[in-house]
A and B are shown apart, each in its own frame.
Chain A
Amino acid sequence: MSSSPATLFDKVWDSHVVRKIADGPDVLFIDRHFIHEVTSPVAFLGLETRGLKVMFPQKTFATADHNTPTINQHLPVQDPLSANQLRALEQNAGKYGISHWGLGNPKNGIVHVVGPENGITLPGMTIVCGDSHTSTHGAFGCIAFGIGTSEVEMVLSSQCIMQPKPKKMLIRVDGKLGKGVTPKDVVLYIISRLTAAGATGYFVEFAGEVFENMSMEGRMTVCNMSIEMGARGGMIAPDETTFNYIKGKDKAPTGAAWDKALAYWKTLKTDAGAKFDVENHYNAAEIEPMITYGTNPGMGIGITKHIPLAQQAGGSKATYEKALDYMGFHEDDAMLGKKVDYVFIGSCTNGRIEDFRAFASIVKDRKKADHVTAWIVPGSHIVEQQIKDEGILDILTAAGFQLRQPGCSACLAMNDDKIPAGKYAVSTSNRNFEGRQGPGARTLLASPLVAAAAAVTGVITDPRELL
């Protein structure tokens, strides 16, 4: 290891390089590999074609999430193609000796929710999964990112992938967040400033007062969406908040192993004087509850603002007009007061207990707007149980909402949870691409508070008025 000041990212990356290839990628060792039913079957087929084995089956964890129903999970899965993928995951996991938390397993849930909540995700790890929101695990000081199916096959067969080392970007947010401003708003604000491609080629470290004061759930929301600014991933240095979260989790180290791990984890921070390729600094006081108005996550504004004019937005005018046309919006429209048809709370971005607490804080003693269809989907069975144990389910039920069962659900609309064409959905998920939540669906990304305000008023509403 070099003695010159190093960033957190350098420390974790460099300690995982098995080989450097001249004018080529680094061969990077992977500590944890998550797999799910959609992007793994072809990788297992590849192994079979080549006659390869899984090198370290104990480092891979399988959970079913992308393609699972969120009602009646005890019944056979109706869609034969989905059922086939779920069966393939179960069979492949069984064949190669990989841990599998399938549908119905009490540990089942969205891969990026169950990894952290069971202590599989630990500081300083390299973590990959065939899913771009693997960046979530960066909240623990991990280098975590999404990979393609060919790379899933690489990790299964060799526990390594080949990646050029990304450049480094520091994003600092200092100051205090205002009332009703949540981690989701912080990250939507950053993406709106950087654009959806502004961090492409970089690995981001989030630092500053705002992240230091943030819960692990909040940090996961922020790191989750680092891919939406184009970054390979984003990470936050582990601290007491991190260690307290991990301690006592099912698969977390205990006893002497805990002490040893903790001593190592405490070294995982950027040294004074370490250099980043780019730095971006923002002021927390400038962030208000955010909402998106277009078809990529960079097209977001403060909820009280009007949709920018094409020339203010930057980029190609034709692309901008295509986006507004798809959304049925116009330049200079106010966002407040626009009618909402659907509300979705859930996903690997905002499907954790804190998100449902936030949602309930606004819904309490109010009623769901009659014309709004709301899908409330916990990120895992553990979250589902917390919702029940904390009395949140009673609040939801009294307000006219129903709780569904865990899964990715309407975030990517692979299962039956699809927003109909032309309808507006305020969604706590991560992407507002055309058709993301169903063909023709119009997505407005926002925090759980904004989603709750929309669910009870039926229109886009500033949640600060209801807090």
Chain B
Amino acid sequence: MAYDKFTVLKSSAVPMPIENVDTDQIIPARFLKATERKGFGDNLFRDWRYNSDNTPKKDFVLNNPIYSGEILVGGKNFGSGSSREHAAWAIYDYGFRCVVSSFFADIFKNNSLNIGILPVQVSPAFLDKIFRAIESDPKTELEVNLPDQTITILATGESEKFEINSYKKHNLMNGYDDIDYLQAMKEDIRVYAEKSIY
């Protein structure tokens, strides 16, 4: 599925300073019953966001109007658990294009990159600085610069480099995905398959 190109994103951010945010919190299993990729944003963080009678939980950050933006900032080990890509779809569909954490679970990171969300891994100290900057001013803006691989707290100018391999970077900046690449190398795959014992 095509996604918008990612180059430089300047936005305020939504803070979620909780560790081990797992994919069952991001999108509970009972909302995985669709056969199309539609409407997952409505159920993002469903059980943290809504009471059992579907009224919003006032103390949850997504229900607090002072926080907004296209960047979600989470605690360590964000996205652990299930392989459901629906978690990344829900985050994207809600309107986030970038998730910042000091540590990501592997499958979630892959899924995000595959659908056009940029996972930015920062040091624990820088993550702390971001949380503090948002705490002192909820409207504070971050700049995520993919070509330069930097994330900056604009109010203070504090900045950090982040890692991404050049293949994925190229894909995100151009809106390409792996399927395009694999389709172009099918002859090599066929040759490999010929010698496979399975």
A residues near B (Cβ < 8 Å) are 18-19, 21-25, 27, 29, 31-32, 38-39, 41-42, 45-46, 49-50, 52, 55-56, 59, 66-67, 79, 81-82, 84-85, 88, 122, 125, 130-132, 134, 145-151, 153-154, 157-164, 166, 196-197, 200-201, 230, 232, 260-261, 264, 295-296, 315-316, 318-319, 322, 412-414, 421, 431, 433-436, 439-440
**Contact assessment for A431 and B52 in the assembled complex, using a CB-CB cutoff below 8 Å:** no
What's the Cα separation between A414 and B25 when bound, in Å? 14
Q: List 28 A-B contacts (CB under 8 A).
A: A18-B185, A24-B167, A24-B168, A39-B83, A39-B85, A46-B1, A66-B29, A67-B33, A84-B35, A88-B35, A130-B85, A148-B83, A148-B107, A148-B110, A150-B111, A153-B179, A154-B182, A157-B183, A158-B185, A160-B182, A163-B110, A197-B76, A230-B106, A319-B18, A433-B24, A435-B25, A435-B28, A440-B52
Contacts of B197 in A (CB 8 A): 260-261, 264
Q: Which residue of A159, A161, A412, A434 is within 8 Å of B25 (Cβ)? A: A434
Cβ of A270 to closest chain B Cβ, rounded Å: 21
What's the Cα separation between A22 and B47 when bound, in Å? 42
Contacts of A55 in B (CB 8 A): 186, 189
Given contacts A414-B32, A433-B25, contact A18 B189 (CB under 8 A): yes
Given contacts A29-B196, A148-B111, contact A431 B24 (CB under 8 A): yes
Known A18-B188, A84-B33, A413-B29; further 8 A-B contacts with Cβ < 8 A: A18-B189, A29-B189, A29-B192, A39-B32, A130-B85, A148-B111, A318-B18, A433-B22
Contacts of B17 in A (CB 8 A): 316, 318
Residues 168 to 198 of chain B near chain A (Cβ within 8 Å): 168, 177-179, 181-183, 185-186, 188-189, 192-193, 196-198
Contacts of B106 in A (CB 8 A): 166, 200-201, 230, 232
Given contacts A261-B197, A439-B52, contact A45 B36 (CB under 8 A): yes
**Contact assessment for A150 and B37 in the assembled complex, using a CB-CB cutoff below 8 Å:** no
**Contact assessment for B198 and A23 in the assembled complex, using a CB-CB cutoff below 8 Å:** no
The chain A residue sitting closest to B2, CB to CB, is A49
Given contacts A159-B193, A164-B165, contact A154 B178 (CB under 8 A): yes
**Contact assessment for B47 and A435 in the assembled complex, using a CB-CB cutoff below 8 Å:** yes
Contacts of B185 in A (CB 8 A): 18-19, 27, 158
The chain B residue sitting closest to A299, CB to CB, is B20
Contacts of A85 in B (CB 8 A): 33, 35
Given contacts A23-B167, A319-B19, contact A197 B103 (CB under 8 A): yes
Contacts of B30 in A (CB 8 A): 413-414
Q: Which residue of A31, A132, A412, A431 is within 8 Å of B196 (Cβ)? A: A31
The chain A residue sitting closest to B87, CB to CB, is A148
B66 within 8 Å of A (CB atoms): no
What's the Cα separation between A67 and B32 when bound, in Å? 9
Given contacts A56-B193, A148-B111, contact A200 B177 (CB under 8 A): no
**Contact assessment for A296 and B80 in the assembled complex, using a CB-CB cutoff below 8 Å:** yes
Cβ of B81 to closest chain A Cβ, rounded Å: 6
Q: Mark B62-82, 1 if CB is under 8 A from A, else 0.
A: 000000000000011100111
The chain B residue sitting closest to A18, CB to CB, is B192
**Contact assessment for A150 and B85 in the assembled complex, using a CB-CB cutoff below 8 Å:** yes
B90 within 8 Å of A (CB atoms): no
Given contacts A31-B196, A42-B35, contact A433 B81 (CB under 8 A): yes
**Contact assessment for A158 and B182 in the assembled complex, using a CB-CB cutoff below 8 Å:** yes
Cβ of A77 to closest chain B Cβ, rounded Å: 11
What's the Cα separation between A329 and B77 when bound, in Å? 23
For the complex of A and B, 9 pairs with smallest distance between CB atoms? A24-B167, A146-B83, A148-B85, A148-B111, A81-B33, A41-B35, A158-B182, A150-B114, A197-B77
**Contact assessment for A197 and B32 in the assembled complex, using a CB-CB cutoff below 8 Å:** no
B115 within 8 Å of A (CB atoms): yes
**Contact assessment for B19 and A434 in the assembled complex, using a CB-CB cutoff below 8 Å:** no
Given contacts A148-B85, A434-B47, A435-B47, contact A160 B189 (CB under 8 A): yes
Contacts of B22 in A (CB 8 A): 296, 431, 433
B84 within 8 Å of A (CB atoms): yes
What's the Cα separation between A163 and B106 when bound, in Å? 10
The chain A residue sitting closest to B198, CB to CB, is A31
The chain A residue sitting closest to B30, CB to CB, is A414
Contacts of A52 in B (CB 8 A): 179, 183
Identify the interface centre among A150, A230, A435: most chain B CB within 10 Å of its CB. A150
The chain B residue sitting closest to A152, CB to CB, is B85
What's the Cα separation between A46 and B114 when bound, in Å? 13
**Contact assessment for A431 and B81 in the assembled complex, using a CB-CB cutoff below 8 Å:** yes
